[in-house]
Structure 1
Amino acid sequence: MESPKASPPQAPAKHGTLISKIIIVCVVILLIILFYVFDLGQYFSLEYIKSSQERFAQLYEAHTVLVIATYMGIYIVMAALSLPGAAVMTLLGGALFGRLIGTLAVSFASTIGATLACFVARFLLRDWVQNKLGDKIKPINQGIQREGAFYLFTMRLIPAFPFWVINLVMGLTSLPLRTFYWVSQVGMLPGTFVYVNAGTELAQIDSLGGILSPSLIISFVILGIFPIAVKKIMGWYRARQDMKQPPA
């Protein structure tokens, strides 16, 4: 009689995962340190892009595809690392590329960057959170599976929720990355267009605070809450209908 085959040890796989996590953490920390040590934030200020707009426009006319690709690459890295300057980059996209191309470039770059940030947070922290909290987080995961797309859509629409916080929090849940990507892209689209549209008149902008007026923020809030409200009303209506039906 043959002896049963022993299952392969799990230690090497866990060891490899740990090394991968350490490498990712080191790379992220290094890039963030370099950003601040070399004061790269000065190149993502409103004053800098306004003073450099003409030079950027000349580069765009001479090397259109290269400039768009470089712009999107920088935007993706900034979004993935949660570095400051995304709003200024969005304004620059409108100033250089116009409303259509600017909105498309920013929409895809910001969503790809956000998805990378979500993936990194999930890869580094989700297992630890699940092991620590266990059954306590199970209802949250179940709720995310059922209605996570609606809540994410609402948070993406409302500017009050910080971009990087949403990426981190959703990375700790069981929401599929594919769902995270398309909901984020759709949800961020109105705000993206507002900033890109403002960027087409960059010379007239004195501060970032004036772009989103209180009435515009309220409109985003209403727009974000609307799909959840509809879903709740439909659920309540179906429950009422089920209660009215006679038992079989």
Structure 2
Amino acid sequence: MRSPTGFFLILGASTFYLYLLSTSLRPTRGRPATLSHLQPGEEPEEGRELKFPSDLDELQELAEYLQFYKREHPSYVLLLFCSAYLYKQCFAIPGSSFLNILAGALFGPWLGLLLCCTLTSMGATCCYLLSSAFGKQFVVYYFPEKVAMLQGKVEENRSSLFFFLLFLRFFPMTPNWFLNITSPVLNIPIAQFFFSILIGLIPYNFICVQTGAILSQIQSLDDIFSWSTLFKLLAIAVVALIPGTLIKRFSHSHLKLDKTDLGIPHINGRKTM
């Protein structure tokens, strides 16, 4: 294993870059002004600090704040979003669902989906490379039982490895971030790793992005029960069910899995998502 100094240098440089990028937007004082509070031509007050959202209220405020700047600086907001997304993925920081919803609110359902699928795959691959360079012994030392369990499953399904990786993304036996950092230890080829994420997380990303796009368009309770919104919610449900059903049927006949693996995923007796 290489010296952890290199990893901390990469982490520090990435954090500093993201900090500079986020502070280049004109901040606002106190509680951020939302779009509904701004008059035409009016800008937010100074003093706003950008941070990763931790709940839906913070997510809504951040979305409205960035939507304001996206009018005049769309390329800059796109760069900021991509950088923040890759930062979370590269360093295995949970909470990508909020950024997926934010993508739908900022960029719409289809561009948002394309961005999330691409950034998820790229960021997870960077995480794979960082783990391969700096984290193999760390992962084995701190998670020996979980690594051994995954290693056994991977070896049993080595002949259908790509479909097994898709199965893990649709029905995670372990969280996605943990699978990203353990994949180098499991000797999973990086190409199969990349495309399994690109394809396997499409339903999850679609649900989150569509949710963000819908929420950004809802102004009243009447909008929730409109035919347009109900149709979109139905489409989300179909997209979520069909791929999972197909891969589950494939797993019965091609993959070597326990019966418990085909139900709700658990690890250490608890459900993980």
Q: Give the shorter-chain TM-score range.
A: 0.5 to 0.7
2:189 and 2:178 mapped to 1: Cα distance?
A: 17
Q: Does 1:170 align with 2:193?
A: no
**Match in the other structure for 2:7:** 24
1:159 and 1:95 mapped to 2: Cα distance?
A: 27
After superposing the two structures, state which structure 1 stretch, 120-129 or 179-188, moved more.
Answer: 120-129
Report how far residue 152 of structure 1 moved. 1.1
1:140 and 1:158 mapped to 2: Cα distance?
A: 14
Residues 56-205 of structure 1 mapped to structure 2, 5 A cutoff: 56-126=66-136, 142-143=155-156, 145-158=158-171, 161-202=174-215
1:82 counterpart SS class: coil
1:141 and 1:42 mapped to 2: Cα distance?
A: 34
1:40-89 CA-to-partner distances (Å, cap 9, x unmatched) read: 76545321121233331122222223322221111011011122331111
1:200 counterpart SS class: helix
**Match in the other structure for 2:57:** 47
**Residues 141, 174 of structure 1: 8 Å contact kept:** no
1:217 and 1:201 mapped to 2: Cα distance?
A: 16
Report how far residue 95 of structure 1 moved. 0.6
**Residues 121, 197 of structure 2: 8 Å contact kept:** yes
2:150 and 2:245 mapped to 1: Cα distance?
A: 29
After superposing the two structures, state which structure 1 stretch, 214-223 or 180-189, moved more.
Answer: 214-223
1:171 counterpart SS class: coil
Report how many residues are paired. Answer: 204
1:97 and 1:197 mapped to 2: Cα distance?
A: 11
2:188 counterpart SS class: coil
**Match in the other structure for 1:227:** 250
2:135 and 2:243 mapped to 1: Cα distance?
A: 31
Percent of matched pairs sharing the same residue: 19
Report how far residue 25 of structure 1 moved. 4.6
After superposing the two structures, state which structure 1 stretch, 120-129 or 95-104, moved more.
Answer: 120-129
**Residues 2, 133 of structure 2: 8 Å contact kept:** no
C-alpha distance 62-137 of structure 1, shift in aligned 2 (>3 A): closer
2:111 and 2:188 mapped to 1: Cα distance?
A: 30
1:41 and 1:159 mapped to 2: Cα distance?
A: 28
1:142-173 CA-to-partner distances (Å, cap 9, x unmatched) read: 54642221121011123674221111222211
After superposing the two structures, state which structure 1 stretch, 50-59 or 182-191, moved more.
Answer: 50-59
**Match in the other structure for 1:5:** none
- The code of the aligned residue for 2:245 comes to I
1:201 counterpart SS class: helix
**Match in the other structure for 1:9:** none
C-alpha distance 92-160 of structure 1, shift in aligned 2 (>3 A): farther
C-alpha distance 221-84 of structure 1, shift in aligned 2 (>3 A): same
Report how far residue 228 of structure 1 moved. 2.5
**Match in the other structure for 1:14:** none
Greater helix content: 1
TM-score, length of structure 1 as denominator length: 0.65
C-alpha distance 218-66 of structure 1, shift in aligned 2 (>3 A): same
**Match in the other structure for 2:35:** none
Runs of 5+ unmatched residues, structure 2: 20-48, 219-232, 257-273
**Residues 117, 167 of structure 1: 8 Å contact kept:** yes
Q: Which has the larger radius of gyration?
A: 1
1:201 and 1:181 mapped to 2: Cα distance?
A: 29
1:174 counterpart SS class: coil
2:92 counterpart SS class: coil
1:137 and 1:195 mapped to 2: Cα distance?
A: 27
